[in-house]
Amino acid sequence: SQQGEEDPQALSIQEGENATMNCSYKTSINNLQWYRQNSGRGLVHLILIRSNEREKHSGRLRVTLDTSKKSSSLLITASRAADTASYFCATDKLGGGGATNKLIFGTGTLLAVQP
Amino acid sequence: NAGVTQTPKFQVLKTGQSMTLQCAQDMNHEYMSWYRQDPGMGLRLIHYSVGAGITDQGEVPNGYNVSRSTTEDFPLRLLSAAPSQTSVYFCASSRGLQTTNEKLFFGSGTQLSVL
C-alpha cells in the first residue's frame, strides 16, 4: 500500500509562476524526501526534511512538513520550462521498532511548465 | 564515478522465460534496492539489501529473487516471467541505512516487456 499520496496528480502552469505540490502520508516517519523524475529517466533527489524540522529551503525549492497533519508540501518558485517533470515524495515508515529500511514513494505529481 | 549502472536498458521476454537485471554501484554504498514503476502506481519497493549477504523483502517481492554477494552488485532475478511483471525497473543505492536519513541514488532504469 502507498505510504505517500501526492496532490494534485497533474499540474500545468506558466513559466515564472510558482508550483505547489502536496504529499500526505499515513504513519509516523523519520524523514520525508522529495525526488524529481524527468521523462524516461531515473529519479533524482531534491531535498530531505527530518521529522523534527518544519521547513527547509534549497535554491528555488521550499519544503514544509506538518507531522500533526501527516503532510508535506513542495513549492517551486519562479518555475522554468526545465522544471517540467514528475515529482515524488518518499517516506520511511516508523514501526514499533523504529524507522524501517524501506523508502516508500507516493504516486507522483506531473508538473508541466509552459514557456 | 559512474554512480548506479543498470543493464540492460530494454528487454523483451516471453512468458515463462527467466532473466537477471543487473545493478552495480561504485560509490561503496551499503544500501541497495530495487523498485518497479507502473503508470498510476508510483514506485513500489521489490527487495532491498543493507549490506553484502543481507537482503529483505519490500512491498511487492513475489516473483523476484535477489542476492548480494558483494557490496557493488545487486542483481534482480525473474525466475518465470509473467505479463504482470511488465514494468520499468529501477535500482537505487544509498550510503547508509534509511534510518540515518540518507538519500537514494537511482540508476537510469530497465524497461521490461513480458509477452
What are the tens digits of pLDDT across the range B32-83? 999 999 987 889 999 999 999 999 999 899 999 999 999 999 999 999 999 9
Mean per-residue pLDDT of chain A? 89
Q: Is the pLDDT of residue B109 over 80?
A: yes
Q: Do the Cβ atoms of B75 and B22 come closer than 8 Å?
A: yes
3-state SS assignment for residue B106: strand
User: A-chain residues within 8 Å CB-CB of B56?
Assistant: 101
Interface A-B, measured as beta-carbon pairs within 8 A, has a size of 68
- Give the three cell numbers for residue B75: 542483481
A92 interfacial to chain B (CB closer than 8 Å): yes
Task: Assign residue A101 a region (left: φ > 0; alpha: ψ between -120 and 50; beta: otherwise).
Answer: alpha
Nearest Cα residue to B110 out of B31, B35, B56:
B35
Q: Which residues of B touch A30 (CB under 8 A)?
A: 98-99, 101
